Structure 1
Amino acid sequence: MMVFIGGYRLKSRAHMAAGVGYLLVTVAFVCGAGLTAPADSTADRGTAYDLAMAAFLLIVWLGGTLHTLFLQLKVAKQAPPTAADRHSDAAVAAAQWRVQRRAEARELVRADPGLAWELRIGRPDIQGRQYDDGGLVDVNHVPAAWLAYSLQIPQPLADEIAQQRGLRQGFTSPDELIVYCTAMTPERMAVIRDMLLFRPL
């Protein structure tokens, strides 16, 4: 029966027919055993017949089992990717690494601001940086053009951020961008929040 089910999932008529064949042969052999049993009930002939029957059933059972395992492997290959498979994707792994890197760089800014400044954390606009901060963007210092490029936001929004930070001597939190920049929506902020850094001017 498992061979038939596997053939059905694979849309293979050959495997489905094989599954039906296994079933019919087994039923026919078992049902016919009583009809064709040796009339002579001597121990030797009875034992030989029983052994032959057992061997035949073993062959059918073993063949069906191996066939079922083969089909299970084929069905598994056709299954959609699981969450674990998606997480093994190189691009996803790289993105996860950058998220972790941003967390480490942010902690460095908190623990050692001088070293973080020396490493140019949050300053993708500065050439020759050697420290990879995972894509942090210092909102209070990065030029408007780089805000648009690094955060993938519209240039008019980047210009508004630059204008408002000058009027307010810099921002201190992501929420202030939503309050003071009309084009900054909560939905857009949810996407870029993890990339933002706010060093004082």
Structure 2
Amino acid sequence: MSWPASPVPPGWPASPPGVLVGTHPPPAGSPAVPTGQPGAAPPIFPPPVPTRLPPRRAPRWLSVAGTVLGLAAAILSFGFLTWMVLAVYAAWRRSWRTTLAAACYLALVVGFVAAFADLDAEAEATDLELLSLLGLGVAWLGGALHVLLLDRRVWGVVTGQRSRRAENRRVLREQARFLLHHHPAARHDLRIGRPDLPRTFDDGGLIDLNAVPEPVIGTLPGLSPPQYQQVIMDRWLRGPYTSMEDLAARCLLPPTVTDALREILVFLPPPPPPDRPA
């Protein structure tokens, strides 16, 4: 399928980046178009619209729903289904530690059922039966707490790992911005803002919006598929962005999206073209 020839609108670039204009031979049997006559123009391809979006991570609501359902199953079953919830987590994460915990909770439930299977209502409870009752309590309350801590966000908040990791990333980003301001050559030497390129310098997750390819833009937090396509299209049509305010105005991004992007985006001007030999 070939695109019909059309004149280039004023102010538009001659062709999309990465597309060669006029290199496709005409189909067999089609009349030749003389290039020297007025009105003859090479075929113009439409702007690059991303057809395949990058894979998205699991939404947050799915993780929250899984934690809520696991807690409900462990609490409402009085610990009898705690082992099943842990088994599902173990299969999903392929964790042998969680598998071992699920086996322990199952052993507590089996021990409780075996101890009270032949219980006489008039006989006094033995030490074994009291111990099995205590084990069921551990599977009930301890298992519910265990399911809650399996949520990575909850675990990060309880242990403080999430706040320490976020602070370390923030410090790395500030150092990278300092290098960009005082040593512009670090942009190319250290490849700051280019997670798509191999590098050894950790810039804290900075992304140069004017230089990264389309799949990297699709990983920006908070961008919906239409907004992702709008950013790609506007960057191609109107050139690089100059600031976060410029990005928000040109792509009509709400403050909820720009606030999340302000910490990780940099807007570096495109490098100058190489000097021609004398």
Structure 1 residue 102: Cα displacement: 0.5
Sort the Cα spacing of 1:151 and 1:143 in 2 relative to 1 into closer, same or farther, 3 A.
farther
Indicate conservation of the 8 Å contact 1:138/1:197, yes or no.
yes
Aligned residue runs from structure 1 range 15-164, under 5 A: 89-126=160-197, 128-151=198-221, 153-164=223-234
- Relative to structure 1, the CA distance from residue 130 to residue 175 in structure 2 (aligned partners, 3 Å threshold; closer, same or farther) is same
Per the alignment, residue 180 of structure 1 pairs with: 250
Residue matched to 2:5: none
Cα distance, 1:150–1:180 mapped onto 2, change above 3 Å: closer
Question: Normalising to structure 2: TM-score of the pair?
Answer: 0.39
CA distance in 1, matches of 2:263, 2:176: 12
Structure 2, unmatched stretches of 5+, are 1-156, 271-278
Q: CA deviation at 1:88?
A: 6.4
Q: Which residue pairs with 2:16 in the alignment?
A: none
Measured after TM superposition, the shift of residue 151 of structure 1 is 3.7
CA-CA distance at 1:87 after TM superposition: 9.0
After TM superposition, give the deviation of residue 117 of structure 1 in Å.
1.8
Instruction: Determine helix, strand or coil for the equivalent of 1:194.
Output: coil
Distance 1:165 1:151 in 2: 18
Q: CA deviation at 1:186?
A: 1.3
2:262 matched to 1:193? yes
Task: Provide the aligned C-alpha RMSD in A.
Answer: 1.8
Unpaired runs of at least 5, structure 1: 1-85
TM-score (normalised: structure 1): 0.52
Q: Is the contact made by 1:170 and 1:200 (CA closer than 8 Å) also made in structure 2? A: yes
Q: How far apart are the structure 1 equivalents of 2:195 and 2:222?
A: 13
| Conserved 8 A contact 2:222-2:257 | no
What secondary structure does 1:171 align onto?
coil
Query: How many residues matched?
Result: 114
**Compared CA separation, residues 200 and 94, structure 1 to 2 (3 A):** same
1:135-175 residue CA offsets vs partner (Å, 9 max, x unmatched): 00101011121111144522332222122122222111001
| Partner Cα distance (1:188, 1:122) in 2 | 19
1:166 to 2:242 alignment: no
In the alignment, is the contact (CA less than 8 A) between 2:173 and 2:204 conserved in 1? Answer: yes
Q: CA 1:144 to 1:93, structure 2 compared with 1: closer, same or farther past 3 Å? A: same
Residue 124 of structure 1 aligns with an amino acid whose one-letter code is P
Alpha-carbon distance in structure 1 between the residues aligned to 2:165 and 2:229? 30
Q: Larger Rg: 1 or 2? A: 1
2:29 equivalent in structure 1: none
Tell me how far apart the structure 1 counterparts of residues 221 and 191 of structure 2 sit (CA, whole Å). Answer: 17
Q: CA distance change for structure 1 residues 87 and 103 in 2, over 3 Å: closer, same or farther? A: farther
Name segments (4+ residues, structure 1) moved above 6 Å: none
Q: 1:152 to 1:120 in 2, by over 3 A?
A: farther
Matched residues in 2 for 1:160 and 1:170: separation? 13
1-structure distance, mates of 2:220, 2:255: 18
